[in-house]
Structure 1
Amino acid sequence: MSADSGTSGQHQHGDQPDACATEAPDRRYWTVDEHLADVLAQVSPLPAIELQLLDARGCRLAEDVTAAGDLPPFDNSSMDGYAVRTADTVGATEQYPSVLAVVGEVAAGARELPRLGPGQAVRIMTGAPVPPGAEAVVPVEWTDGGTGSGLAAQAMTAARADEEVRVRQQVREGAHIRRAGSDVTAGSTVLTAGTRLGPTQLGLLAAIGRGSVTVRPRPRVVVLSTGSELVQPGEPVGPGQISDSNSFTLTAAAQQAGAIAYRVGGVPDDAERLRAVLDDQLGRADLIVTSGGVSVGAYDVVKEVFEDYAGMDFRTLRMQPGKPQGFGRIGGVPLLALPGNPVSAYISFELFVRPVIRTMLGAAEVHRPVVRAVCTAALRSPAGRRQFLRGRYLAERGEVAPVGGADSHLVGALAMADCLIVVPERAESVAPGEQVDVVLLAD
């Protein structure tokens, strides 16, 4: 493979700081923005489907969700204790408690409720419906001297025995009662379209009685890397071979972006083998991402295979790293072909593939956040290219520090970075203390 098509530190040419020499006059050079805009113009959110709640985790709502009823649906107790009329507790103290007759008991889920009259109390458990006539709930700890869980239990038992309870404190109206609709009112919008469904959102949907919901499904992304030099991590590495890292990096990145990702191991530099793998994967893919084989090397079979399909386009971008890019459709499925050097592949994913996944998800924000920060070191950049350097963002100081060099094989430095430092096409250098755009990578 050519230099920018490799997948490991053994490939040390291609997108280097001094590699922007002579450009062919008859070749079109795309800017980063032009390529991204063209890609995003050809993808759209996936069609909405209805899923059971747990199957919808990680998806985004395709509808506003309104509550059919109140939540809680009825007044209920927030404590174990006694339902009472507030007038019957006026002036109650430790020395002079109010003595009330216990006329019944209500547990969570009870349907038949005793009616409370003057001078009466009803034993009530947490979550149980408040009986008619009750205006407040007295915690069991406030009764018959109960000051802790053990004493409280004794107090409840004692009250059962003699059918009366001594209330040691005055209680205000509504105390320890969860009112119907105090959380959610009937007819209100509880979640809006575009909301990502996590554990708490799914819990809310279940609480209002929704068993299923209409969502944009998580796109299924197939990730494959190409190269006869690739071996699976953990297998012996022979002469001229390297461990396949790109498929792991890109699969994890797709999952982080919200996709369901399938990793396909390294595909050798064989056109027929690549065609067979693609045909096999099309049935489960909403998007295909490849790395390697998109440059000008003699064994760049990705271009050889993909150029057989109408609509596939291989481009040269004014960026570093990641100059060679491919985009199109195979069997109706969008495909992004990324360069093979690991830094080139990852940065290309962040700039182009992640926005596609986020668009398919129906996310409101498809791009990584960008901030301005003061660069702590001098930088050099090739004229006419937008350079993306790895960095560490120091938010509390408003600074960014470069990590490693500009070479596109430095996976050690890439693993230490949490942002990308952007040097625009018009700049050939950045002086220490200058402000730069910083793309934040951490979720």
Structure 2
Amino acid sequence: MIGSVTTRYASDGCDHEPAPILSVEQVQRYLIERVLPVAGKEVVATETALGRVLAEDQRSLMNIPGADNSAMDGYALASRDIERAGEFRLVVSQRIAAGQVGQPLAPGTAARIFTGAWLPPGADTVAMQEHCRIEPDGTVVIPGPVTRGAHVRRAGEDIAAGVCILRRGTRLRAQDLGLAASVGLARLPVFRRLRVALLSTGNELVEPGAALRPGQIYNSNLYMLAGLLQGLGCEWFSAGWVPDDPTQTHEALARAAEAADLVIATGGVSVGEEDHVKAAIRDIGHLDLWRVAVKPGKPLAFGRIGATPFLGLPGNPVSAFVTFCLFVRPFVQRSQGIVCGQGGADTVPRSFPVVAGFEWSGAKKRREYLRARLRLTENGATIVEIYPNQSSAALTSAAWAEGLVEVPEGHTVAHGQTVRFFPFSELLS
């Protein structure tokens, strides 16, 4: 229950209680609370784990660094040999490069050492080569006093043996793979990929490459949503195209639910006489919510077909795009096993304030998301501009944009006003 929101809704029939129009936050919270993450796991090579979701905590079995080592090219020495001010001449007793292990350091001597090389036993400090002077006889002159431990990276100062380096639920980034490799992890346990069925509906749809007849349009939503799902690391497949026919819609949805962890359909969830998806979900499953106070994207549906969750997106391409960013993405991330706040993957997208370089009049009852991008002005200030055509059918606005500007319910925007900007880096990954 979310406020006055029940767990099951009728659509819009006169003999049913009408579905309430929910806020953006209500829908996001409602969807997240109903996620059932995938349970299957597999072990993959670390180099192939980019974008996968870690299924188990990973702990280091070693210290990083493995021993005290030099942070500089210079000379390793015992600080007790150079405790006072002045210049000290030391015999250079050995040369240690990275990957080599030196001999114990004799008192009163220094070792020529290079960045990353382990300090020899008896040394506790490194003098930078820039501060030293080599004499013709091969001895080194080092100014004192030196600070004990200077320019030394201590064993385990980055990673101590036994600590957790990567948490379960982390969506693995390149730096995470590097971290795993740094402690010798050649393979990683990950959740299996979320399998998503994409169903396209509408008599007017034609696949790219075919000739268009009057009244037809190309099925851009399938390719857009497929790309968005691939960007989130999902496995997707097309559940096909169905015309505006109730029987065929029922059958296609049922087949898709049997083969997928999540079914996403575009179109057919509004109130038109040819919108059959919403009715089909009520017939073969149940409809949990419908309609959200957002523009573009009001007709958003969520329900289940058996145990398989269903999300119905509007047919207009920008509406489908925006609702995917706001609602589908966080639902998919949690379904994949991603834990909020780990691996840089908060399921609710983050925004930042920016100065508006545009005006937006006419306060609306629904929250609006305008396609926008940032611009650097001549005086070095950053402002945000919006695409001139904000129609829900103008996919050019999404291709032009770098993110979305949020206009709260009942608000307008004036030049110079601070607005919230959601970059696509937060909304699409």
TM-score normalized by the length of structure 2: 0.72
Please tell me whether the aligned partners of residues 196 and 235 of structure 2 are also in contact (alpha carbons under 8 angstroms). yes
Pairing 1:270-289 to 2, within 5 Å after superposition = 272=248, 275=251, 279=255, 282-283=258-259, 285-289=260-264
Unaligned runs of 5+ in 1: 1-21, 146-154, 156-163
Moved more, 268-277 or 360-369: 268-277
The counterpart of 1:422, out of the listed 407, 411, 424, is: 407
Partner of 2:366: 386
* Separation in 2, partners of 1:41, 1:337: 18
Q: Please tell me whether residue 75 in structure 1 is matched to residue 49 in structure 2.
A: no
* Separation in 1, partners of 2:283, 2:396: 37
Pairing 1:37-56 to 2, within 5 Å after superposition = 37-47=29-39, 49=41, 51-52=43-44, 53-56=46-49
Cα 1:132–1:26, aligned 2, differ >3 Å: closer, same or farther? Answer: closer
Partner of 2:309: 334
* Separation in 2, partners of 1:23, 1:404: 37
Partner of 2:5: none
SS at match of 1:262: strand
Please tell me whether the aligned partners of residues 50 and 212 of structure 1 are also in contact (alpha carbons under 8 angstroms). no
Pairing 1:397-436 to 2, within 5 Å after superposition = 402-405=386-389, 407-417=391-401, 418-424=403-409, 427=410, 430=412, 432=414
Pairing 1:55-134 to 2, within 5 Å after superposition = 55-59=48-52, 65-79=58-72, 82-86=75-79, 98=89, 100=91, 102=93, 104-110=94-100, 113-134=102-123
Q: Deviations over 1:328-357 (max 9, x none)?
A: 223522110111111221222223212212
Unaligned runs of 5+ in 2: 1-11
The counterpart of 2:222, out of the listed 232, 247, 252, is: 247
Partner of 1:262: 236
Cα 1:413–1:115, aligned 2, differ >3 Å: closer, same or farther? Answer: closer
Q: Please tell me whether residue 324 in structure 1 is matched to residue 299 in structure 2.
A: yes
Give the RMSD, CA atoms, in angstroms: 4.3
* Separation in 2, partners of 1:430, 1:140: 63
Q: Deviations over 1:413-439 (max 9, x none)?
A: 333342143342xx4x73747979746
Partner of 2:21: 31
* Separation in 2, partners of 1:79, 1:302: 66
Partner of 1:174: 149
Q: Deviations over 1:71-95 (max 9, x none)?
A: 21212234555544456678999xx
SS at match of 2:311: strand
* Separation in 2, partners of 1:290, 1:62: 29
The counterpart of 1:351, out of the listed 326, 345, 369, is: 326
Please tell me whether the aligned partners of residues 294 and 314 of structure 1 are also in contact (alpha carbons under 8 angstroms). no
**What letter matches 1:315 in structure 2?**
W
- How far apart are residue 42 of structure 1 and its match? 1.9
SS at match of 2:91: strand
Q: Deviations over 1:204-225 (max 9, x none)?
A: 2332344455666653433343
* Separation in 1, partners of 2:316, 2:70: 62
SS at match of 2:236: strand
Cα 1:436–1:343, aligned 2, differ >3 Å: closer, same or farther? Answer: farther
Moved more, 43-52 or 273-282: 273-282
What is the number of residues matched between the two proteins? Answer: 394
**What letter matches 1:118 in structure 2?**
P
Cα 1:24–1:352, aligned 2, differ >3 Å: closer, same or farther? Answer: farther
Question: Whose radius of gyration is greater, 1 or 2?
Answer: 1
Please tell me whether the aligned partners of residues 372 and 435 of structure 1 are also in contact (alpha carbons under 8 angstroms). no
* Separation in 2, partners of 1:118, 1:124: 17
Q: Identity, % of aligned pairs?
A: 33
Cα 1:435–1:349, aligned 2, differ >3 Å: closer, same or farther? Answer: same
* Separation in 1, partners of 2:353, 2:129: 58
Which structure has the higher relative contact order (CA within 8 Å, separation 6+)?
A: 1
Q: Deviations over 1:153-203 (max 9, x none)?
A: xx9xxxxxxxx7321433734344322123233454545555543222232
Cα 1:128–1:372, aligned 2, differ >3 Å: closer, same or farther? Answer: closer
SS at match of 2:268: coil
